[in-house]
Structure 1
């Protein structure tokens, strides 16, 4: 591109055209012109070219100052080239080499859209000169999406989905063809399973994920990472992902040494990185065995590692539940696959960044491995299943979120009891099988044991907190009645501001079709006679969980049964899974018979009645929803939603397999398809994996005043910070702020820590407030607070939020970290 631009300029010189109209200007002053602006969405760069020269007549080294909108952006090296047209038009032969060209990277914080453009040239002797655009269009530019990469990603996804559909529909024919070609038996499920694994590998290789990390680029971006939103938009509500876990994960790679147990860059005490749960963060050690979402960080480049962490829960859960449902409904892999897909793409799973799928993946995998080992399998499979049992059982424990673990644990224990009762005649109670089960559980115990040895002090600190450590006796019964039907509204509520009523993640749920599923199961009672324990286990669990959600337990029972460690909205993860499994009882057939039941008019009439009743129940439940929900559910939207509910309910109660799953999956996709963005992360070639460009060196700690997001991005860049997000209080900080322990109740909690400036009339002590359960505000007097009390070397704040901070006697000005920010060094 650069050569083409130079050739164009030379060609224009040959025909006597100067794009900057040089002949019309005086040659006695320094001048600069902008002749070309080219935006490359794929590389996120802008190529600028023009000419500039000093009145002194000697070719000087130039520095470009480029402003896109209000933001000044960094520029690459400015190259000079010959401009004979300029020399001829101005009569200054010494201006022959006045041409310049430069590549300017587009900051990740600048998203798609139109922006103003202003370019200045800084001469060595003549100072700054504004570049005059030779075309009015060069005063602005439009940042487009990377359409090439977006189209390639879309094409790969569409082709991949098409191949998976073919593997699902024509599984028998494909397996027969492969068996003949490979001269060995290939199961019908194998091509589809391989296709799912290949799909996961492809998305990881592309470095494409659904992270909302791009939001962090608005202030001080993470060094060495470029975020490109290919489609959709970042979700502010998923701050646990983009503000906490993802920056922590990146920060582990930038720490020196990388992947420590205690990250010294987060807080004055450092932060134990074995404490974050869910998909967790990478820590090099034995506990990493139980955290497979972090494995990518140890073996892959950063963009691919982030994609691994994002997609592992979705694809892993799909395979794990497929195996689980195949055990619940034997020899019916198509039904099992459809059920697992219904769970993975449910709004509750999508709106929580696939984290519900992650913990469910562990529970379903451990359940499946345990059952297969119990029932007996081939000799070579036993050690593999024992390892799988060890990894997944420890993984389930190390997700460290009892609110999901407790209800899922109850559900799978009840299903395990049902399987043992149902298959008691076929279970092989052999010593070898039991030995492998014990070996798997021992592997899990060793993994959790190593984790405990390195995390026990931090765990004790977290358990001693007001929140969440003391949340052990939530009796339940606090959920609103409309919550049961809220999942059906997610096609609109996931994409709207719900004000004080709720938020997109909290309002997300499953599409419950409980009554139609029960009616379908009763119509399928001939099969239930052989699978009765599973059916009754599901009904019993749904009754137990629903009672806890809508009625509640006595406090003592809630505490002793561990249900007190969850709370009603989080129980949805297990009730949703049980409701989907209940759908399976309506469609499952005896694998030993090919008899298909004929349609009966009475059954279809009953299905219509059930469908209308369930649609009426959903409508009645949503009547008690907050007013903002009613504003979103216009009469047209409500009618369409209830029609879809009635249609899916009818197909389920009447047991039309193909029609139901096509309709139900379409409803789910319609609700969630646009929620998470499609994001491509890249690491520029010049970026060092351990570069810490936003701090002078690796030992000087910074206090970030205002939002705590820049603190987390600085930590992710490898810079020590004082505040940010901590799972337990950092006592070096709080001992300095509160030496007399007057505010212990306020700060003894999981905390998003914000420092604010105000005029406190000369008060030397901070004011600590807790506006919500996990947020702590520390307000200090901008002019009089003694920053020497804090274990920091620097303070940084946005320019428009600094108040009287420049007048503080304990601070001295220091070079800024980023455009629009002030920085001060603590004077000791």
Structure 2
């Protein structure tokens, strides 16, 4: 074979090597591998410098409170006993007109018979700052919504200026509930280091206590403002960002002014001391977190600016009402209240333990009424000695707990025994009569309880079993004593057998306060028991809707057109005081009715030119009229005091004095005694037994 390479033809070119097919073995079936569990992320550690933890739970709570409030307002729902008008002055309408649920309580006369007619009167007259139907001078500015720049500091009145009258009324009375719940909840969250259930329970207990609900939530706004003011002050101390410092500084001053404009010193003065003591104790306990104060020059400067700006508005308000305030302070009743305490509770300090036994219509006569006798549950007699033991055992003082305890002791002494006169006057506590001071004292008892439970949450002191037995026996003995006090003080309304369950229940509740007994669910059990006991107070007030018991009333609809036709004419009601209240609501310039102050400059200058009977009418009063004709002195007018808060005007309906006063209409709720007394009038409207006469001479 030649070594020379031979050229291959295409036909003879070698074929590519053949590859054997690769056989892929079928996969062997295996069990699916289980996913390995992933360990959950550890919870985010609590920030030791965090004041209030606005987590999902807290935000939902605040949202629900605000949402329910808005739903109530949109639905025109409120808790005032306006449906009582359906039976007090029946006009043939259904007795449940305006009533959604519950029962109207006639005891809350200041709300449905005085407050509501005053408010509707000022609405009908266009929100003036002077309204003769309410009282002399500028009474309207102090008592009802009025068009004035100071309304900016009165959130309760905002609804009237942006909503219709009925929703504005609902806003006014409903706002106090979210104020209390939000203000107290945030305050408790701050001072208990975010103990959610304890904080929420404390807020609910303040809301549902008898001293709050039976006064139609009047104390609620003040409690709420105190809590919000304290929280804002603490956040201002901690804040570093300039914009937030501005908002907090102005917010703090705003809240202080809004609180002051509640204008009820008997509650405000003691309550201010309570929150100052508790807040001061909190800041001292946590002084390392707040002091030295960051950016203190900026904060002090902004507070000064806020005080100056808002102070200018308040100064204008004060100038407008200065004469009115001086006149109110100079009245015979209520005048300038100045007491040194010592008259005690209307009921007794422990009557709330047995509040399930009494009710709206069944209570001891010596306790006056369900409102006056109501206050708050107190656990102070057990907490106070335990607090001393706690401080000794821990060898340190919780200054916040000490502040709440000091307030409770001091005010309890004021109520039961009194203070030296100089001390009561210097501290201004003299402005709080004993029976009014029991409300802030009760608020202090709730704060004391919450603070104490927070302090002993994780603390247990091991003691011999006999010590706990002795402690529980002492608590049982205390509860038996409270039962004895109430049985003897209740004029037979409360019997010994009725005290059995309350004694057992509150013995158990007080025993939960013993930090010598280890209990994993101490706070949960106590909070549950407290809320369950207070829940029946939800029925204290009715759920009402709108203003129809007044504005749809036959008498109101008969009088209102006459007032619109002749708004400057004056009215007198000859008869029932309840009829006078309805006439007030129409916006009439009525001489009778309820007067915050007497109208000296015009009305009594004519009726009593020498001021001989000044002591009879110089008061907050319910004013009625009756016919008195003296043939020897035909123009005689008698002004006679009937009650501490009431006087009567008696005279000839056709007297020249009433003509001079432009008394155009006289409403009789009965037939005139003799035709002579209506000789100067003609019938304008007849409403069954009632007749409206118009003066024609």
Question: If the TM-score is normalised by the length of the shorter chain, which range does it land in?
Answer: 0.7 to 0.9
Shift of 1:363: 2.1
Distance 1:465 1:423 in 2: 47
Tell me which residue corresponds to 2:81: 212
Per-residue CA deviation, residues 689-736 of structure 1 (Å, 9 max, x unaligned), is: 9x9335343222211122333333333223332222222211122222
CA contact (8 A) 2:278 2:404 kept: yes
Q: Shift of the alpha carbon at 1:392?
A: 1.9
Conservation of the 8 A alpha-carbon contact between 2:353 and 2:502: yes
User: 1:825 is paired with a residue of what secondary structure?
Assistant: strand
Q: CA deviation at 1:476?
A: 1.0
User: C-alpha displacement at 1:676, in angstroms?
Assistant: 0.5
What is the aligned partner in structure 2 of residue 620 from structure 1? 484
Instruction: Report the CA distance shift for 1:511/1:587 in structure 2 as closer, same or farther (over 3 A).
Output: same
1: distance between equivalents of 2:424 and 2:334? Answer: 16
Partner of 1:512: 378
Please point out which of 398, 423, 426 is paired with 2:289.
426
Per-residue displacement from partner, 1:160-215 (whole Å, max 9, x unpaired)? Answer: xxxxxxxxxxxxx9999xxxxxxx99453111111111111111122111111223
2:353 alignment partner, one of 488, 512, 518: 488
Distance 1:634 1:377 in 2: 60
1:811 has 2:680 as partner: yes
More divergent stretch after superposition (788-797 vs 543-552): 788-797
Q: 1:386 aligns with which of 243, 246, 249?
A: 249
Tell which deviates more after alignment, 601-610 or 613-622: 601-610
CA distance in 2, matches of 1:266, 1:791: 18
CA shift at 1:422, angstroms?
Answer: 2.1
Q: Does 1:639 align with 2:496?
A: no
Distance 2:343 2:190 in 1: 35
Aligned-residue offset at 1:610: 4.2
Q: Give the gaps of 5 or more residues in structure 1.
A: 1-172, 177-183
Correspondence 1:572 to 2:438: yes
Q: Is the 8 A contact 1:692 1:698 kept in 2?
A: no
Q: Distance in 2 between matches of 1:599 and 1:299?
A: 62
Flag the structure with more relative contact order, 1 or 2, with Cα contacts below 8 A and sequence separation at least 6. Answer: 2
Give the Cα separation in 1 of the matches to 2:489 and 2:54: 55
Partner Cα separation in structure 2 for residue 175 and residue 813 of structure 1: 82
Number of corresponding residues: 630
Does the Cα contact within 8 Å between 1:521 and 1:585 map onto a contact in 2?
no
Task: Report 1:787-798 matches (<5 A).
Answer: 787-788=658-659, 790-798=661-669
Q: Check 1:441–1:174 CA distance in 2 against 1; reply closer, same or farther (3 A cut).
A: farther
Query: Which structure has greater strand proportion?
Result: 1
For 2:370 and 2:632, locate their aligned partners in 1 and report how far apart those are by CA, in whole Å. 42
Verify the 8 A CA contact 1:538 1:582 in the aligned structure 2: yes
Of 233, 247, 250, which aligns to 2:117?
247
Structure 2 distance, partners of 1:555, 1:824, is: 54
SS in 2 for 1:507: coil
CA distance in structure 2 between the aligned counterparts of 1:735 and 1:357, rounded to whole angstroms: 40
Report how far residue 652 of structure 1 moved: 3.2
Counterpart position of 2:239: 376
Which residue in 2 is equivalent to 1:317? Answer: 180
Which one of the candidate residues 650, 670, 678 is aligned to 2:511?
650
Question: Which residue, out of 454, 468, 472, partners 1:608?
Answer: 472
Q: CA RMSD in A?
A: 3.5
Pair 1:582 & 2:448 matched: yes
CA contact (8 A) 1:703 1:723 kept: yes
The partner residue of 2:615 within 735, 742, 745 is 745
Is residue 692 of structure 2 the alignment partner of residue 826 of structure 1? Answer: no
Give the structure 2 partner of residue 401 of structure 1. Answer: 264
Equivalent residues of 1:252, 1:263 under 8 A apart: yes
Q: CA deviation at 1:767?
A: 3.1
Gaps of 5+ in 2: 1-41, 46-52
Report the Cα offset of residue 566 of structure 1: 1.0
Q: Deviations over 1:534-592 (max 9, x none)?
A: 1111111112111111111233332232121111111122211211111123321599x
Larger-gyration structure (1/2): 2
Say if 1:358 and 1:480 are closer, same or farther in 2 by CA, change over 3 A: closer
Give the SS at the match of 1:693: helix
Distance in 2, Cα, partners of 1:174 & 1:708: 65
Shift of 1:481: 8.4
Give 3-state SS (helix, strand or coil) of 2:623's partner: strand
CA contact (8 A) 1:793 1:825 kept: yes
1:474/1:558 contact within 8 Å kept: yes
Secondary structure at the aligned position of 1:793 is classed as strand
Conserved? CA contact 2:652–2:677, under 8 Å: no
CA distance in 2, matches of 1:789, 1:779: 17
Taking a change above 3 Å as real, the CA distance of residues 434 and 271 of structure 1, as seen in their structure-2 partners, is closer
* Cα distance in 2, alignment partners of residues 795 and 397 from structure 1: 40
Are the aligned partners of 1:220 and 1:818 in contact in 2 as well (CA < 8 Å)?
no
Q: Give CA deviations for 1:616-674 in whole Å, capped at 9, x if unaligned.
A: 232233244241xx32x23443223323322322233357111111111111123x232
SS of the residue corresponding to residue 739 of structure 1 reads: coil
What is the CA–CA distance in structure 1 between the aligned matches of 2:661 and 2:351, rounded to whole Å?
Answer: 47
Aligned equivalents of 1:228, 1:205: Cα separation in 2: 15
Question: Does the CA contact (< 8 Å) of 1:403 and 1:565 recur in 2?
Answer: yes
Cα 1:329–1:776 shift into 2, 3 Å: same
| Aligned residues of 1:762 and 1:784 also touching (Cα < 8 A) | no
The answer on whether the counterparts of 2:73 and 2:170 sit within 8 Å (CA) in structure 1 is yes
Post-superposition offset of 1:604: 4.5
2:403 pairs, out of 537, 546, 556, with 537
Question: Counterpart of 1:556 in 2: which secondary structure?
Answer: helix
Q: Does 1:768 align with 2:639?
A: yes
Aligned-residue offset at 1:326: 2.4
Once the two structures are superposed, residues 259-297 of structure 1 have per-residue CA deviations (whole angstroms, 9 ceiling, x without a partner) of: 221125545x56531222xxxx21222211221111111
Alignment-derived partner of residue 108 in structure 1? none
Are the aligned partners of 1:389 and 1:441 in contact in 2 as well (CA < 8 Å)? no
| Partners of 2:576 and 2:669 within 8 A in 1 | no
Tell me, yes or no, if structure 1 residue 778 matches structure 2 residue 642.
no
Q: Does 1:702 align with 2:571?
A: yes
**In structure 2, what is the Cα distance between the partners aligned to 1:246 and 1:744?**
28
Say whether the 8 Å CA contact 1:712–1:725 is kept in structure 2: yes
Q: In 2, are the aligned partners of 1:512 and 1:576 still within 8 Å (CA)?
A: yes
Q: CA deviation at 1:387?
A: 3.6
Distance 1:486 1:197 in 2: 33
Q: Secondary structure at the match of 2:439?
A: helix
For 1:759 and 1:639, locate their aligned partners in 2 and report how far apart those are by CA, in whole Å: 62
Distance 1:350 1:563 in 2: 24
Tell me if structure 2 keeps the 8 A contact 1:383–1:436: yes
TM-aligned CA distance change 1:265 to 1:520, over 3 Å: same
